Structure 1
Amino acid sequence: MINAYLSDGSTMRLSPEEPLAAFPEGIVWLDLIGPGPKEESHVEQLLGVDIPTRDELKDIEPSSRLYLEQGAIYMTASLVWRADSHDPQLTDVGFILSGDRLVTVRYADPKSFNLFIAALGRVPEDACNGPTLLAHLLETIADRTAEILETAIARLDRLSSDIFRDRETRRPPKFLEGKLAEIAESHRLVGKVRDSLGSLSRLITFLLNTPAIQSDENVRNLCATVGRDVTTLSEHAGFVAGNISFLLDASLGLINVEQNAIIKIFSIASVVFLPPTLVASIYGMNFQFMPELNWSHGYPLALVAMLVSAVVPFFFFRWKGWL
């Protein structure tokens, strides 16, 4: 699908089935969503630039992601996709700046693009060109990334409250084990965000050194601002990742503490019942000469002895502070 956006804010859709003799006037942005070979060839004929395929967008080499070719600027960034789900992903998006026209190639639908399209009408028509749109699009992507980080931080705050609640209200170890899955989800999301910010930082650094951006002071200043925002977000994402590691270590430690407390109860119970067991074992022996067997009160005295032998260790442990 090829969506074309004009400088006056209107939208049109181009189709390879309806070939055009020349590139339509007024189009400043072509957004290719999941393009097939026919659509790629159609845009290449209209603009005279090469459109990277899906496999080419996946290349991780910097020389394959950021380069100049035939006067056009080719850039690829990894953006966070499906951040609101339990399985966030990274999707590679291609940005091509050819003169005053911007071309984007994507095979997913990151929320930042929808936000940018919704606010596209705010860009003044006299300043609506490819470099300006690219700078504002990168700004929207950075803002969306910041929003994702804020969501992750809010989730971590809830996790922290659940994990470090008072001992009287905290649930058993199985509850803490269930929180490990949520910590893993947060770790995965923040990891994707850090990868995305890294690619955006490299893209903006490369973009700032291109003639098309250096010749426009407003665009250059906006890109520099976005670059500083991305750097700040990267540092913040590193801080959030550190908090996630702390929560993971704390959860594992609390699970060990709770399990040790359970084992401690069983250990104390076995020690408390050991003396009564000893008394019962003595009087369960089949010796011929045991005076207590002939006593009229031998049975209740044996029960009292077992009870006393259990109570004395219990209070001794309490006195020592072991319970």
Structure 2
Amino acid sequence: MLTIYLRKGDLLVTTAADQENMAVLPSSMPDSDAACAHILPSDALWIDLLNPSRQEEKYVEEQTGIPIPTREDMGEIEESNRFYSENGAQFLTAPFLHIGHGEHRIVSPVTFIMTDKLLISVRYAEPKAFALYASRTSKSGNGLVNNRTNSLCIMLGIVEANINRLADFVENISEKIDNASHRIYHRQANMRPMSTQNFREILNEIGSHGTFLSRMRESLSGLRRLLVYLTANTSAKTQAKDTRSWLKSLERDTQSLENYVDFLSNKINFLLDTIVGLISVEQNAIIKIFSVAAVGFMPPTLIASIYGMNFSFMPELSEKWGYPAALIVMIISALIPLYYFRKKGWL
């Protein structure tokens, strides 16, 4: 889908909302050759390509003279393939964390193509930051759009919305980790020990949190690299005082979030080590019970084995007190080891 945004006062509006240009260009380009006959509005500020078709890519390339990177090109991890200039435009690619199907959080690359007057975003996912930014800039008094708004301001606005979204994710995952920690460390004395099912559930939960934090770290690292690249850029747009201040603020935010994510990752590793240790303690307790039971039954077993021998001369066998005496000796021989273990603190 192709959406074109124009600036009207302090608002960003799509071409569908712009009555003067509705006859020139629809908000979503059809997949036909006729789309290429339309002329890009001269006051277009932002072109958003979401899962673009080949016809939409061709239209943008013909109207702007800028090649649109393929999905494979956007997946390259080398920095030279993520940040470069071509045909007078800057190509910037960063990984955006978003929620996929089934609440599954994934990281997808988003490419920003920035010229002096136009921003082109290419994405094959739907990070909520884009919808949030578009919604905020469509309302009057948003404080984001003015007569000095350019392509860099729009990109930084989207990045800022994404960073705020990541901060919400971090707060949410931090609360979940605290809840898991409470379940592990603050079990009441009268509660039953954690069962195998409990251990399995909490291990799966902590593991999913760890995976999410690793993807969060990947996204934050990519965003910070993008901001560092822009800060080092000596173009007139990045040298403006308010823009450089904005860049520094976003860079500090990403750095602080990265540090906090690292802290949470260490906490996750500590919880995993604790769970593994608790599993070992539970296993040792079970083995200890069996060991004590085996030692406790050894003397009675020895006595029973002696009287089970088929010797012809065992005088006590013919006595009336022989059977109860043997039982009493077995019980005493079992209680003595148990008392000894208890006194030593092994039980």
**Fold equivalence (TM over 0.5):** yes
CA offsets per residue over residues 152-177 of structure 1, 9 Å max, x none?
21111111112223354242244113
Structure 1 equivalent of residue 275 of structure 2: 251
Structure 1 moving runs of 4+ over 6 Å: none
Q: Which moved more, 1:213-222 or 1:46-55?
A: 213-222
Structure 1 equivalent of residue 29 of structure 2: 15
Q: Secondary structure at the match of 1:126?
A: coil
Corresponding position: 1:70 with 2:94: no
Give yes or no for contact 2:137–2:145 (8 Å, CA) kept in 1: no
Corresponding position: 1:171 with 2:217: no
Structure 2 equivalent of residue 161 of structure 1: 182
Q: Secondary structure at the match of 2:110?
A: strand
Query: What amino acid sits opposite 1:19 in the alignment?
Result: C
CA distance in 1 between partners of 2:297 and 2:135 (Å): 73
Q: 1:74 to 1:212 in 2, by over 3 A?
A: farther
Q: 1:217 to 1:249 in 2, by over 3 A?
A: same
CA offsets per residue over residues 108-156 of structure 1, 9 Å max, x none?
1112222222212322342433111111111111111111111221111
> Which one of the candidate residues 126, 132, 137 is aligned to 2:153?
132
After TM superposition, give the deviation of residue 26 of structure 1 in Å. 3.1
Show structure 2 runs of 5+ residues with no match: 16-26
CA distance in 2 between partners of 1:100 and 1:243 (Å): 46
Query: What amino acid sits opposite 2:257 in the alignment?
Result: L
Query: What amino acid sits opposite 1:307 in the alignment?
Result: I
TM-score normalised according to structure 2 size: 0.88
CA distance in 1 between partners of 2:85 and 2:260 (Å): 32
| Sequence identity percentage | 37
Give yes or no for contact 1:173–1:258 (8 Å, CA) kept in 2: no
Query: What amino acid sits opposite 1:15 in the alignment?
Result: M
1:162-201 correspondence to structure 2 within 5 Å: 162-166=183-187, 168-169=190-191, 170-201=193-224
CA distance in 2 between partners of 1:316 and 1:59 (Å): 68
CA distance in 2 between partners of 1:185 and 1:238 (Å): 16
Q: Which moved more, 1:16-25 or 1:55-64?
A: 16-25
CA distance in 2 between partners of 1:129 and 1:46 (Å): 19
Give yes or no for contact 1:102–1:131 (8 Å, CA) kept in 2: yes
1:52-91 correspondence to structure 2 within 5 Å: 52-82=69-99, 87-91=104-108
Q: 1:86 to 1:11 in 2, by over 3 A?
A: closer
Number of equivalences: 323
Structure 1 equivalent of residue 19 of structure 2: none
Show structure 1 runs of 5+ residues with no match: none
After TM superposition, give the deviation of residue 86 of structure 1 in Å. 5.9
Structure 2 equivalent of residue 120 of structure 1: 137
After TM superposition, give the deviation of residue 83 of structure 1 in Å. 7.3
Give yes or no for contact 2:74–2:110 (8 Å, CA) kept in 1: yes
Give yes or no for contact 1:5–1:30 (8 Å, CA) kept in 2: yes
> Which one of the candidate residues 320, 323, 332 is aligned to 1:296?
320
Give yes or no for contact 1:131–1:212 (8 Å, CA) kept in 2: no
After TM superposition, give the deviation of residue 69 of structure 1 in Å. 1.5
> Which one of the candidate residues 191, 202, 223 is aligned to 2:247?
223
CA offsets per residue over residues 273-306 of structure 1, 9 Å max, x none?
1111111111111111101101111111111111
Query: What amino acid sits opposite 1:155 in the alignment?
Result: K
